[in-house]
């Protein structure tokens, strides 16, 4: 049955309710209670389910102190409503993608909060380490030219925000990449990440009067030394390039096509 | 956690992006039907907080890998119209997150 489109001004009460309990009320202490309320929603109603998913994916809307509680609640809810896990993660990944396609500074704060939230969702096992690395590699490859003479609108020379996004995500969940395949993946990624950092850092756009932002340099260094205290950081772009060549030559047979997959994350189109 | 078999499993879940923001699941299904054999379908309305980047999107997990290419050939670059005649060029990509929900739903005792 067709219902007339509702006037936009007033949000339906149930939407307001979901927004309020998830984004205003939720904290560690009342999580059980709010989880019970969320479970009681009529999930068979597609509109209710869509709104709930949108708000569960809205990790950037909550206070930083409530972010983990929202992630845990989402993970627990996903046990009962199986649509929740893929739909929430897909929504967040789409937001990350859209804000790379439109890297307007108005989204910056939100982007940081969103990737931290994604990291928390990984900590509650809503996604695999592979998925986290897909996002990490997308930050350092999507629209990235790796060539200072060819400037990308998606990754402008003086936009260093993606370095902060990588660090924010690694800060949230990188500590768990400490064994097995995820440890290996992080080691490889850190080589490629350093390469991206040096690509940005050595861009000729930076001059004495217009310097590479020092706080980004600190965030980058702290992120890497926290994750891998014994790692010797590369000190030039050339060193990174050499390291990547070496990695390809010595480890490629063992890696199979995996590393190439990761390398190609920027181009996700169904090509062949 | 990540098993070998998982690494080599082909990608089967696609996303169709940049659909008209006012599109509904019903109108989408009308336009793309019949969708080849699939075990997951999810249609998402745009996120109203994303400013001028308002698009609907759809996720489909295909049962047969070959169907992905036929679907891509047909709908990657396909022009979808909204009810006012606005044109939206759809993009078909592999979904970055390949996990889907199982069909069978546990009943929540609540």
Q: Each residue of A151-163: pLDDT tens digit?
A: 999 999 999 999 9
Give the minimum alpha-carbon distance from B21 to chain A in angstroms, rounded to a whole number: 14
Provide the chain B residues 25-84 that lie in CB contact (below 8 A) with chain A: 25, 40, 42, 44-45, 47, 50-53, 57, 59, 68-69, 72, 76
Report chain A's mean pLDDT, rounded to a whole number: 91
Tell me the pLDDT band of A264, cut-offs 50, 70 and 90: very low
Q: Tell me: pLDDT of A191 over 90.
A: yes
Is A269 close to B76, i.e. CB distance below 8 A? yes
CA distance A259 to A247: 10
- What is the β-pairing status of strands B13-19 and B56-62? antiparallel
Between the CA of residue A2 and those of A127, A205, B26, B44, what are the distances in Å?
37, 56, 12, 19
Question: What does DSSP assign to residue A257?
Answer: T
Give the minimum alpha-carbon distance from B11 to chain A in angstroms, rounded to a whole number: 10
Q: Tell me: pLDDT of A234 over 60.
A: yes
Q: Span A44-53, mean pLDDT?
A: 94
pLDDT score of A54: 95
pLDDT score of A6: 53
Residue in B closest to A102 by C-alpha: B53
Is A83 close to B52, i.e. CB distance below 8 A? no
CA distance B76 to A268: 13
Give the lowest-confidence range in A7-16, A225-234, A261-270, B13-22.
A261-270
Q: Span B69-75, mean pLDDT?
A: 96
pLDDT score of A156: 95
3-state SS track over A150-177: CCCCCCCCCCCHHHHHHHHHHHHHHHHC
Tell me the pLDDT band of B42, cut-offs 50, 70 and 90: very high
A contacts of B97 (beta carbons < 8 Å): 86, 89-90, 93, 127, 131, 134
Provide the chain B residues 12-31 that lie in CB contact (below 8 A) with chain A: 14-15, 17, 25
pLDDT digits (tens, 9 = 90+) for A109-131: 999 999 999 999 999 999 999 99
Give the minimum alpha-carbon distance from B71 to chain A in angstroms, rounded to a whole number: 10
Is B42 close to A39, i.e. CB distance below 8 A? no
pLDDT score of A4: 62
CA distance A136 to B102: 27
B34: preceding bond cis by omega (within 30 degrees): yes
pTM of the predicted structure, to 2 decimals: 0.89
Of the candidates A212, A95, A103, the one whose C-alpha atom is nearest the C-alpha of residue A155 is: A103
Is A82 close to B102, i.e. CB distance below 8 A? yes
Strand segments, DSSP code E, in chain B are 13-19, 38-44, 56-62, 79-81, 87-89, 91-94
The conformational region for residue A145 under phi > 0 = left, psi -120 to 50 = alpha, else beta, is alpha
Where b means 16+ CB within 10 Å and e means fewer, B98-108 reads bbbbeeeeeee
Give the minimum alpha-carbon distance from B34 to chain A in angstroms, rounded to a whole number: 20
Residue in B closest to A272 by C-alpha: B69
B contacts of A80 (beta carbons < 8 Å): 106, 108
Q: Span B74-81, mean pLDDT?
A: 96
Give the minimum alpha-carbon distance from A17 to chain B in angstroms, rounded to a whole number: 18
Q: Span A73-83, mean pLDDT?
A: 95
């Amino acid at each position: 049955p067709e219902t007339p489109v509702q006037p936009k001004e007033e949000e339906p009460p149930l939407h307001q309710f979901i927004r309020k309990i998830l984004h205003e009320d939720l904290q560690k202490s009342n999580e059980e209670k709010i989880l019970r309320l969320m479970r009681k929603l009529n999930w068979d109603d597609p509109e209710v389910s869509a709104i709930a998913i949108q708000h569960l994916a809205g990790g950037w809307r909550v206070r930083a102190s409530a972010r983990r509680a929202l992630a845990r609640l989402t993970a627990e809810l996903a046990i009962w409503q199986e649509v929740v896990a893929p739909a929430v993660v897909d929504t967040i990944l789409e937001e990350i993608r859209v804000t790379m396609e439109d890297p307007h500074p108005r989204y910056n704060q939100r982007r940081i909060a969103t990737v931290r939230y994604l990291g928390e969702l990984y900590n509650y096992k809503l996604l695999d380490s592979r998925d986290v690395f897909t996002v990490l590699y997308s930050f350092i490859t999507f629209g990235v030219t790796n060539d200072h003479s060819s400037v990308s609108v998606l990754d402008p020379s003086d936009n260093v925000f993606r370095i902060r996004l990588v660090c924010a995500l690694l800060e949230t969940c990188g500590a768990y990449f400490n064994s097995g395949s995820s440890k290996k993946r992080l080691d490889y990624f850190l080589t490629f990440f350093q390469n991206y950092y040096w690509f940005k850092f050595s861009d000729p756009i930076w001059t004495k009067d217009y310097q590479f932002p020092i706080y980004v340099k600190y965030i980058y260094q702290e992120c890497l030394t926290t994750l891998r205290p014994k790692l010797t950081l590369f000190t030039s772009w050339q060193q990174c390039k050499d390291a990547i060549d070496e990695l390809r030559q010595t480890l490629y047979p063992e890696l199979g096509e995996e590393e190439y997959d990761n390398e190609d994350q920027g181009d996700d189109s169904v090509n062949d | 956690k990540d098993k070998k078999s998982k690494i080599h499993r082909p990608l089967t879940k696609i996303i169709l992006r940049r659909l008209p923001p006012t599109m509904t699941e019903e109108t989408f299904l009308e336009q793309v039907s019949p969708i080849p054999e699939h075990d997951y379908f999810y249609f998402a309305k745009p996120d109203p907080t994303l400013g001028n980047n308002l698009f609907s999107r759809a996720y489909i997990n295909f049962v047969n890998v070959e169907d992905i290419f036929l679907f891509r050939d047909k709908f990657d670059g396909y022009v979808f119209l909204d009810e006012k005649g606005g044109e939206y060029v759809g993009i078909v990509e592999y979904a970055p997150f390949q996990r889907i929900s199982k069909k069978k739903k546990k009943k929540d005792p609540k």
